[in-house]
Amino acid sequence: MPREQYMVKLTVEGRARLERLVHGGSHKAREITRARILLKADAGWGASQIGQALECSLGTVCRTKRRYVEGGMDLALTEAPRSGRPPKLDQRGEAHLIAVACSQAPEGHDHWTLRLLAQRTVELGLVASFSHEGIRQRLKKTPLSRGRRRNGAFPR
């Protein structure tokens, strides 16, 4: 059996905090899994045993233990920042987009189309370029429904 590279030793306060996280309140599932990994590692379980018991990969177990040893409990329990492109529109820009979508359609048009909204977003200088698909995804995240009559925007 290979020697464990990262040994987890919890303090009494740390163990109590993890027990509260696992057994009480509502927390993210990944946080709870990481807390259980740390509790089992402190109890002397091996990485493969923990992975089998919690139905997670060996990489997850080793990564959680390493993050705890190198950076402490907060680092081990939280998500690492994800890679990828940041969103083009921030919250302010998204609010502006929704306001434009709720406003009167431009001259010669009955209603706002996704392509018109994308064009107006660029004209207003909110972004350098934006596709109609990006507009669709942004508006889909809101409870805005331009198709229903009783969507809360109009009194009965």
**Do 60 and 29 share a domain, yes or no?**
yes
Q: How many domains does the chain have?
A: 2
Domain boundaries, position 101: 91-140
**Do 23 and 72 share a domain, yes or no?**
yes
- Among 14-18, 60-64, 82-86, 103-107, the minimum mean pLDDT is found in 82-86
**Do 66 and 122 share a domain, yes or no?**
no
Q: Judge whether 86 lies within some domain.
A: no
Q: Which of 78, 8, 19, 11 is nearest to 42 (CA)?
A: 8
Q: Judge whether 55 lies within some domain.
A: yes
For residue 1, the model assigns a pLDDT of 47
Q: Does the global pTM surpass 0.75?
A: no
Q: Judge whether 82 lies within some domain.
A: no
**What mean pLDDT, rounded, does the chain reach?**
87
**Do 20 and 58 share a domain, yes or no?**
yes
| Residue pLDDT, tens place only, 53-80 | 999 999 999 999 999 999 999 999 998 8
pLDDT band, residue 148 (cuts 50/70/90):
low
Q: Judge whether 83 lies within some domain.
A: no
